[in-house]
Every structure is written in C-alpha cells, then in structure tokens.
C-alpha cells in the first residue's frame, strides 16, 4: 500500500499518495480549475507534460509552479487561487544558487532516444551527462512514479543507464544553448537553482508535444490532450467514475482509451477524424508487422464496448466552469455526448526549439540529420521525435547511433539499427498521410474562440495578420509562458504561418537564473 501524505489545498487538508504529481493529487481530490487565465477564465491541466503551463499553482509560497512537474510532499501548501499570489515577493528578484558542470557529451531529454544515446556514449568512455526536466528517466512514453518499477519495455534500458556511468540530472529545464569556441554552453533551470553545463558535443533528444487545434470550449477544465490524459494517469491520477470522450487523430487514441477504461472511467466514444478508407488502408499496411497488429487489437479490446467512429470529430465543448458535454460531428450531423473528461489531440509535433536556437537546419518541420544523426551544426546530434515522430523503436535506434557518434565513433551505423530506422520512418510517413488533419478542422474556431491560451487571444484578433510575427506584435499570440508551443502549430494549421524565430530563453526562466547563465 502506498505511503500517504497530507497536503493543504486552498486551506483544506487533502490526502494523497506519496510520489504522485501535484496535478494528479489535485485531480484525485476533485479540483479541476487550477488557475484563472489573464481574462479570468478557469483553466485546468491540458498537456500534463510541462509544455502548456496551464496547470500553474502556488506551492509553498512560490507562484507559477507547474503542478504536473512537481511531486507531492507531506505538508505541502498549494494555492489554486490567483489572489493567493498577490503581495508575494517576485522570485525573479532573487539570485539563486547555481552550479557549473562539464562533460564531453551532453544529452538533453531522458526519453527512449536520450537514454539510449547516453548509454552508448558513456559506455564508449565519454564523460556523459543526461538532463531532463521530468522527475526521472523514461520520458513521456515510459513515465512512471518515482520509486516504482518502470514499464517492462523500459526496464532494460533504465537499468543499463544506471550501470553506464552517465550522470543523470532530472528536474533540469534547458532554456538556452550556444556555441562557445570549440564547445557548447547549456543553461538549465533546476529546483536548486541555475545550472550551467559546458560540453564538447550535444545530443538533442527533446521529444515531441501534442498538436492542439482550437475549437469552441477547448479551454474548459476537463478538456485535456489525449497524451495529457495518459500522462496524468501515469503521474498517479485516477479517473474512476469519470465519463470520457477520446478524440482527435492517430494510433495514440487507442492506448489512451484503453488506459482510461482500465483506470475505471467510462469511455463513451472514441472519435477519429480520419476517414474509414484512410484508417483501413493504414491498418492493411500493418500486415507486414504482426506485432503492431496484435498491439492494436489488445488496445481495442480494452474498450471493446465503446463505439470507435471514423470521420468524426469534436466540434464544441460545453459546460459552466468545467466540461459537461461535447458536440460531435461527422460533417453532416451533430450530436451531444455527456462527459466530464475529453482527451483530444491531433497527433504529435517535434520539439525543435533548442535545435533551432543552435542553428540546426530543419526539413519538413523536423531536424535534418545525416546517417550518423549529425545535424547541420558540427558537434550537435539529434535523435528520436525531434527528427520526426516515428515511435519508440526508431527513437531507440537513432539514440544508439547518435550516442556512438557523439562519443567519437566514426564507423558506419550498425546495419540492424539502420534497418530499424529505415522501416520505422517509412511506417511513420504512411501514418502521417493516413491521419493528416482534415480541412474541415480549420473552420471549427469561431471569431470569439481563444486560439492562444496563455494570452487569451481570440481568432478575431488574428484574421488580418499575415505572419506569426505580426500576430505576436498585434495580439501577443505566442508570447505567453509556453512561448507558442501550444498555439504555434495550431496557428500554422489555420493560417499556414511558419513559426517565428526562436531566441533565448527557449523556455520561461527566472531572471536570477538568466543572469547566472551568462
């Protein structure tokens, strides 16, 4: 039985299992609205991965802490009210403790690709440091609670990482990266202060985030990302007794629906926006991969009593202060489905901000690499989803290749790894074609629909803008804490805008930490 701790949430005692995230503890206690937006709207957890900054709360007097990134501690005081932070001294005025680290290979991101890269680099004799802003290695796909067994698929690699000699720094958010002479300087924010790291070579394994497309009501508490719902579950949340709709696009909808059903939620509907013909063609193409077919069948059996409808999507979410129902459409008719949880996303988008900050070239929205996973910048390698979303097997293979190359191996990639990369990338290309968002989704947002959640910018404020930069200057769209990570890809889909330039800090950081990074 899990150890129990007691939190003080808005002045009341709330019991929670030790080790879970604050966001999970709040969800388990029935708290759905964690903060008020700049115009006073209630907001709840969206991504549960540290990307969106929607779950900011005050923890032990420190404002703007991301609840999904903070573990619970006994006696923790958590305030969800905006008024609770008024009058507090600004943490940006405090110069915090800093540390300086040096290594030969720095790996950013401790998901499957980053773990594999760090293992191979360290095992090759290179002094290696692995940084991740999560609570432990595993990334989103292998997220697990501290002190618990990782998923079976990750155990071998995580155990190997522990033996490899690589130094692991968790809770480290890298917000700046630049070349200094023949090395690179990385600046990170940690719970203990600023961290500056100097490295000869870098492996970027920064993963991906969900693609959110705005629709009326999508800012209501209770509307999460599809992967966000799964991440919250892995962080210790329970959705038992909740009624859920899973919607959007891509194979991720299957494991999300299965996970929600397993947790005790009633999954009322799974809505896939791709048409039946496209889904069937993609499924038929999996015949050469029986393992993937069996995996899909296993996931589908987890919510066997739930309708799975293709060519169907959420047109609107409704509720007073929180989600109460969604309006679903197939383009011809609309109908309402009562629910208090909607897990919605339209695939994944590579995280390329640090790569762009370092000057790495992109191709099709992903980091361009050669067969050794070398980017266009000498000394910078990239692996996994920043190179294009292609699944765990490809991420691990690319991580191994990148780690070996960063450690100084100049040989050709192992043929087995090369084969995994090639076949996985071909499958990913077919998946992208099959589950591409349909044009009708561009018409969902109304003039009064919020498209930038950080700044509450509405669609009507952007209709006369020609570029993402103009949108920033005139409406602040993309200027909030998430720095366009949520609204940027959505605005690209709606308007065809390329992302605006990236400049440090790549992620929000305290001013005291920014000065420590120079």
Up-side HSE of residue 61: CA atoms within 13 Å toward CB?
5
Q: Is 238 exposed, middle or buried (0-12, 13-18, 19+ CB in 10 A)?
A: middle
Mean predicted confidence (pLDDT) in 263-276: 97
Evaluate whether 43 touches 453 at the Cβ level (below 8 Å): yes
pLDDT tens-digit profile of 308-319? 999 999 999 999
Which residue would you say has higher pLDDT here, 85 or 322?
322
pLDDT digits (tens, 9 = 90+) for 487-503: 999 999 999 998 777 88
pLDDT of residue 85: 34
92: confidence class by pLDDT, cuts 50, 70, 90: very low
Residue from 112, 158, 143 nearest 390 by CA: 112
Give residue 517's pLDDT band: very low, low, confident or very high (50, 70, 90).
Answer: low
The secondary structure of residue 193, as a DSSP letter, is: E
Residue with tokens 């070398």: 374
Please give the sequence-ordered ranges of beta strands (E in DSSP) within 276-374, or none if there are none: 308-310, 313-318, 325-329, 334-338, 341-345, 348-350, 362-363, 366-367
Query: Contact, 381 vs 415, CB < 8 A?
Result: no
134 or 447, higher pLDDT: 447
Name the strand (E) or helix (H) holding 9. strand 4-9
pLDDT of 207: 95
Report all structural domains of the chain as residue ranges with CATH numbers, in order of start. Answer: 4-89 (3.10.20.440), 98-208+351-415 (3.50.50.60), 214-345 (3.50.50.60)
Tens of pLDDT, residues 106-122: 999 999 999 999 999 99
| Residues 6 or more apart whose Cβ sits within 8 Å of residue 159 | none
CA dihedral 89, 58, 33, 12 (to 10 degrees): -120
pLDDT at 512 over 90: no
Closest listed residue to residue 195, CA positions, set 215, 169, 213: 169
Q: Is there a contact between 413 and 398 (Cβ–Cβ < 8 Å)? A: no
Q: Do residues 67 and 23 make contact, with C-beta atoms less than 8 angstroms apart?
A: yes
Q: What share of the chain is helix, strand, coil (3-state, %, to 5)?
A: 30, 25, 45
Q: Which residues, in sequence order, are bridge partners of residue 78? A: 9, 59
CB 173 within 8 A of CB 191: no
Mapped onto helix, strand or coil, the DSSP state of residue 174 is strand
Task: Report the mean per-residue pLDDT for the chain.
Answer: 91
Give 122-162 pLDDT, tens digit per residue.
999 999 999 999 878 888 878 777 667 777 878 899 999 99
Mean pLDDT in residue range 175-197: 90
Helices (H) and strands (E) in the chain, counts: 13, 28
What confidence score (pLDDT) does residue 490 get? 95
Does 212 or 518 have the greater pLDDT score?
212
Asked if residue 184 lies in contact with residue 199, where contact means CB atoms within 8 angstroms, the answer is: yes
Cβ partners under 8 Å of residue 236, min gap 6: 16, 17, 19, 20, 21, 24, 25, 28, 145
pLDDT of 276-310, one tens digit each? 999 999 999 988 888 889 999 999 999 999 999 99
* Contact by Cβ (8 Å): 404, 381: no
What pLDDT, on the 0 to 100 scale, is given for residue 200?
Answer: 97
Task: Enumerate the β-bridge partners of residue 248.
Answer: 272, 345
Asked whether the predicted pLDDT for residue 430 surpasses 90, the reply is yes
Residue 509 has pLDDT above 80, yes or no: no
Q: What is the pLDDT of residue 516?
A: 56
% of the chain beyond a pLDDT of 70? 94
Between 272 and 62, residue with greater pLDDT = 272
Contact between 516 and 96 (Cβ < 8 Å): yes
How far is 185 from 518, CA to CA, in rounded Å? 9
455 conformational bin, left if phi > 0, alpha if psi -120 to 50, beta if neither? alpha
pLDDT at residue 81 in the model: 65
What does the block give as tokens for 57?
């709360």
**pLDDT tens-digit map of 215-231:** 999 999 999 999 999 99
**pLDDT at residue 97, as a whole number:** 54
Contact yes or no for 36/42 (Cβ under 8 A): yes
Distance CA 331, CA 476 (A): 32
| Predicted TM-score (pTM) of this structure | 0.91
Is 60 exceeded by the pLDDT of residue 89?
Answer: no
**Strand segments (E) across 97-170:** 98-108, 128-132, 167-170
């Amino acid at each position: 039985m899990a150890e129990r701790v007691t939190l003080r949430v808005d002045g009341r005692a709330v019991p929670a299992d030790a080790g879970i995230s604050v966001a999970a503890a709040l969800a388990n206690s029935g708290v759905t609205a964690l903060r008020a937006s700049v115009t006073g709207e209630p907001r709840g957890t969206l991504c549960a991965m540290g990307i969106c900054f929607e779950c900011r709360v005050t923890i032990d007097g420190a404002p703007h802490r991301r609840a999904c990134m903070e573990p619970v501690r006994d006696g923790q005081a958590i305030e969800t009210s905006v008024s609770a932070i008024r009058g507090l001294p600004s943490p940006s005025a405090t110069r915090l403790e800093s540390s300086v680290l040096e290594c030969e290979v720095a790996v950013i991101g401790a998901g499957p690709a980053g773990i594999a890269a760090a293992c191979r680099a360290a095992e090759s004799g290179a002094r290696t440091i692995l940084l991740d802003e999560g609570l432990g290695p595993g990334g989103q796909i292998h997220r697990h609670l501290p002190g618990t067994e990782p998923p079976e698929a990750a155990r071998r690699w995580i155990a190997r990482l522990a033996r490899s000699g690589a130094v692991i720094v968790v809770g480290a958010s890298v917000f700046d990266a630049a070349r200094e002479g023949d090395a690179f300087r990385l600046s990170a924010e940690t719970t203990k202060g600023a961290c500056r790291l100097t490295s000869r070579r870098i492996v970027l394994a920064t993963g991906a985030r969900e693609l959110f497309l705005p629709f009326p009501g999508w800012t209501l508490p209770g509307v999460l990302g599809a992967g966000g719902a799964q991440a919250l579950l892995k962080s210790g949340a329970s959705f038992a007794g909740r009624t859920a709709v899973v919607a959007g696009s891509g194979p991720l909808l299957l494991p999300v629906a299965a996970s929600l059903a397993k947790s005790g939620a009633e999954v009322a509907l799974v809505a896939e926006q791709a048409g039946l013909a496209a889904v069937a063609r993609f499924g038929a193409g999996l015949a050469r991969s029986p393992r993937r077919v069996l995996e899909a069948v296993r996931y589908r059996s987890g919510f066997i009593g739930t309708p799975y409808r293709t060519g169907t999507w959420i047109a609107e979410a409704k509720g007073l202060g929180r989600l109460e129902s969604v309006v679903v459409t197939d383009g011809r008719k609309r109908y309402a489905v009562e629910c208090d949880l909607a897990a919605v996303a339209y695939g994944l988008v590579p995280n390329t901000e640090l790569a762009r900050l370092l000057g790495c070239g992109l191709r099709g929205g992903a980091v361009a690499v050669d067969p050794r996973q070398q980017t266009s910048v000498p000394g910078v390698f990239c692996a996994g989803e920043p190179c294009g979303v292609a699944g765990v097997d490809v991420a691990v293979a690319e991580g191994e290749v990148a780690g070996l190359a960063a450690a100084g191996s100049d040989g050709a990639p192992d043929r087995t790894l090369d084969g995994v990369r090639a076949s996985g990338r071909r499958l990913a290309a077919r998946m992208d074609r099959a589950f591409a968002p349909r044009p009708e989704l561009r018409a969902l947002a109304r003039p009064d629909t919020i498209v930038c959640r950080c700044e509450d910018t509405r669609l009507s404020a952007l209709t006369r803008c020609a570029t993402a930069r103009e949108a920033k200057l005139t409406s602040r769209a993309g200027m909030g804490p998430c720095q366009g990570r949520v609204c940027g890809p959505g605005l690209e889909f709606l308007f065809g805008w390329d992302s605006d330039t990236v400049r440090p800090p790549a992620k929000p950081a305290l001013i005291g930490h920014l000065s420590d990074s120079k």
